[in-house]
Amino acid sequence: MLTISCLASLFLWLPDDLVMRNAAAVRPVHTYSIVARDPVTGDMGVAVQSHWFSVGSVVTWAESGVGAVATQSLVDPAYGPLGLDMLRLGKSADEALRGLLASDPRSAVRQVAIVDAKGVVAAHTGDKCIAAAGHVADAAGQFSVQANLMEKETVWPAMAAAYREAKGDLADRMLAALEAAEREGGDIRGRQSAAILIVKAKSTGRSWEDKLFDLRVEDHPNPVAELKRLVGIQRAYNHMNAGDLAVEKKDFAAANQEYTAAAKLAPDIVELPFWQAVTLASNGKVDESLPIFKSVFAREKSRWLPLIRRLAKADLLPNDEAILSRIEAQAN
């Protein structure tokens, strides 16, 4: 229980906009979610599913080097950015959560979970959240699962068990938690949208580079399955980007490994090998690029062959007639 003196000390470091915000903020985003930090990599994130349109635009908040927040139930979206503000000021997840709740006269209808960059976890399920509602905050595992308006009280324990037992990286394990919730019945109203946001452990100072996954399924009959599909595609593009960086460093062996991994993860996306071939050709590896161009043209000649001359004019391929002719000859 917070004493009057504790409350006073909390308000000394609360941002003014948190103290003064509209305490009546209510949006009925009933859902289940997970916040977690990978103890090995330090990456942090949030994953969520709900029978509510565009749930990710309200529930998921994360920042590299700072932490992650899930805010839901009769939600006050301000909990997300203000929670991160307090973590950025050096407050722990516990302190940030106490500050948010102390300033909110409607905390009884809120559900929120926070994990900070040190792996400290804090969670709250207000006693007015619609049943079935509850959470599991696992300090040792550096994660919290929370749910409200669920079909069964077994949803969040099943999520916790699935996360602990799952293999793979943080995205894999968080998706496993969402899938476990669905198997237990999930949201009593059904399902509509899902999202995942994962950020790197340490900030580069460029927020757009700090996000490993930032994906939303806004409206779909099976949003968790669709989110899992999109995560697979994102992995492919992450490998593609890593390959491009390796090429910039003239490390063509590493680039080839990354490009091969990308193609294996998303074999139906013809554009991935096309840009691999372009990158190789533009870096003097024309002979290595030709079989890749040939494979691309065999699959979608009408789309990609006309781009060769356009890319040369944009200095993205050598503007050399002999080289361009060799590339175009792969379409025959």
pLDDT in tens, 219-238: 999 999 999 999 999 999 99
Examine the fold and report which residue of 221, 256, 287 is the final residue of a domain before the chain moves on: 221
Q: Which residues pair with 124 in a beta bridge?
A: 112
Which pLDDT belongs to residue 4? 29
Measured distance CA(213)–CA(261) in Å, rounded: 17
Statement to judge: residues 81 and 210 lie in one domain = yes
Model confidence at 119: pLDDT above 90: yes
pLDDT at 26: 61
User: Are 107 and 188 found together in one domain?
Assistant: yes
Q: Is the pLDDT of residue 18 over 70?
A: no
Q: Give yes or no: residues 86 and 180 share one domain.
A: yes
216, 230 contact by CB (below 8 A): no
Same domain, 113 and 262: no
Element (H, E) at 119: none
Contacts of 272 (CB under 8 A, 6+ apart): 236, 237, 240, 259, 262, 263, 266
192 in the same domain as 107: yes
Q: What is the CATH number of the domain that holds 190?
A: 3.60.20.10
Percentage, residues of the chain above pLDDT 90: 86
* 14 in any annotated domain: yes
Residue 232 lies in a domain: no
> Which range, of 32-36, 80-84, 167-171, 243-247, averages the lowest pLDDT?
243-247
Q: What CATH number should be reported for the domain holding residue 316?
A: 1.25.40
Q: In this predicted model, which residue has the larger pLDDT, 305 or 248?
A: 305
If asked whether residues 91 and 211 sit together in one domain, one would say: yes
**70, two tokens:** 């899930």
The pair of structure tokens assigned to 54 is 């565009």
What are the backbone dihedrals phi and psi of residue 211, each rounded to the nearest 5 degrees, phi first? -90, 120
Backbone angles phi, psi at 69, to 5 degrees: -135, 135
Cα 8 to chain centroid, rounded: 36
Is residue 242's pLDDT more than 60?
Answer: yes
Question: Per residue in 74-111, pLDDT tens?
Answer: 999 999 999 999 999 999 999 999 999 999 999 999 99
The mean pLDDT value of the chain amounts to 91
Domain identity same for 175 and 264 = no
Domain extent for 280? 237-331
Q: Look at residue 211 and give its three-state secondary structure.
A: strand
Q: By the 8 A CB rule, do 197 and 45 touch?
A: yes
Count of domains observed in the chain: 2
Q: How many CA atoms lie within 13 A of 315 on its CB side?
A: 0
| Nearest partner of 112 among 224, 22, 214, 29, judged by Cα | 29
Same domain, 172 and 267: no
pLDDT in tens, 180-211: 999 999 999 999 999 999 999 999 999 989 99
